[in-house]
Amino acid sequence: MTDPSRIVQTAQSVQTQQPPSVLLAEELHRLVVRTKKVLWRTASRTLESRGESVFTWPILNCLVRNGPSAQKDIAESTGQHPAGLSRLIEELEQKKLIRRKVDRNDRRRQLVEVTPKGRTWVEEHTPAVYAAVDQVMSGLDDEERRTLRALLLKLLAGAE
């Protein structure tokens, strides 16, 4: 049987052998993931307190912001897994928050669009979600928030 303390020592040894840039990249990754989890959890609590699901908000918000979209584009924009998104779209369609329609430019493709009921849902819940995000970001002043936005946009531009 392997000694657990030896595994920890080996992991620490491997980590200390990494160049500083790799260690920094790993730390940044952990911080971004943790920040996303805090933001998601805060938004989730806010929507759950209103009897709603946090999974509904990014989909409807994406459709309000971008207009009718293909499912793969929604998945990419929201970071949702396509299979999970497909189930969620079915649920939202049953609730009459969205509808599917044939793309006029490519009749083989379906687009998802928000309904007036879905648009109202977004208008009702978005202020609460943004207030929750603002609460998480309360440790940053306006200039720091603008700097964070610029850095995140720069990262995304370089990755795409």
Phi and psi at 6, nearest 5°, equal -70, -35
On the question of pLDDT at 154 being above 80, the answer is yes
Q: What is the mean pLDDT of residues 97-106?
A: 89
- Domains located in the chain, CATH noted: 27-159 (1.10.10.10)
Percentage of the chain with pLDDT > 70?
90
To the question of pTM greater than 0.85 for the whole model, the response is: no
Mean per-residue pLDDT, 43-69: 93
C-alpha triplet 76, 78, 79: angle, nearest 5°: 65
At 7, the pLDDT band (50, 70, 90 cuts) reads: low
Cα 147 versus chain centre, distance: 20
Which of the residue ranges 3-12, 45-54, 108-117, 124-133 would you say has the lowest mean pLDDT?
Answer: 3-12
- Cα separation, 79 vs 54, in Å, equals 13
- pLDDT at residue number 42: 94
For residues 129 and 160, which has the higher predicted lDDT (pLDDT)?
A: 129
Q: What is the mean pLDDT of residues 97-114?
A: 89
